[in-house]
Amino acid sequence: MSDPSCQLYLISPLDVSGTFPDRLARALDAAEVAAFQFRVKGLAEHDAARLAEPLQRICAGRDVAFIVNDSVGLAKRLGADGVHLGQDDGTVADARARLGREAQIGVTCHASRHLAMEAGEAGADYVAFGAFFPSSTKDTRHVAEADLLQWWSSLFELPCVAIGGITAHNCAPLVKAGADFLAVSNAVWGGDEVAGIQALTAAISAALAER
């Protein structure tokens, strides 16, 4: 998950049952996506694994990294490409020990430079900052500004992910500030997924042309 430009990091809705695998396939076929994060809440590991497996196959068939949110145990069970850790989801060192050297380990750092530097020193593969905008996907308790991305990308080579309420209409300042990835969910799943992905891709390309 490293590229000198800016790529899409797609996060699942909480409900991935029913026809969602078909929606995911359509989204990933619409334009290039670097990674997909499997994010469900309140399910037993067995039930989460059952929902994850078809989505993981869809990602694998398109060379899209499959990242599990929060659960190192589920990531290990699935043989996922990596795990995304919140501040209360355990340490990078423990995740690395359980998942191996090749696993992609990301860490939520909110709007904190200190947390991001700690994550980098601990061996994370990317840091995630946000929320940059009000989000309909989760409660917004931490607000980040675009200059945080600019500061990080000017000092560190470790990739940074921008997250929180990002849409095709508001993403340009984040791309120009140096975000390596834009994490998006409702901007894709809240409407037609193909149109959502294509609008975001076009907006990123336009912003990169000015970066």
CATH architecture observed for domain 7-208: Alpha-Beta Barrel (3.20)
Specify the pLDDT at position 211: 84
Return the DSSP state at 194: H
Domain spans in the chain, listed from the N-terminal domain onward: 7-208
Nearest to 39 by CA among 62, 60, 20, 63: 20
What confidence score (pLDDT) does residue 2 get? 45
- pLDDT of 8 reads 98
Cis? peptide before 131, omega within 30° of 0:
yes
What gap in Å lies between CA 167 and CA 172, rounded to an integer? 9
Instruction: Provide the whole-model pTM.
Output: 0.96
C-alpha–C-alpha distance, residues 192 and 206, integer Å: 21
**Cα(197)–Cα(194) distance, integer angstroms:** 5
- From residue 24, alpha-carbon distances to 11, 34, 58 in Å are 10, 13, 8
Average pLDDT, consecutive stretches of 10 residues, N- to C-terminus, the chain (211 residues):
79 97 98 98 96 98 98 98 96 98 97 98 98 78 92 97 98 98 98 98 96 84
Number of other CB atoms surrounding residue 3 within 10 Å: 11
In this structure, what token pair is assigned to residue 135?
Answer: 């989000």
d(CA 185, CA 135): 9
Tokens standing for residue 88: 């209360």
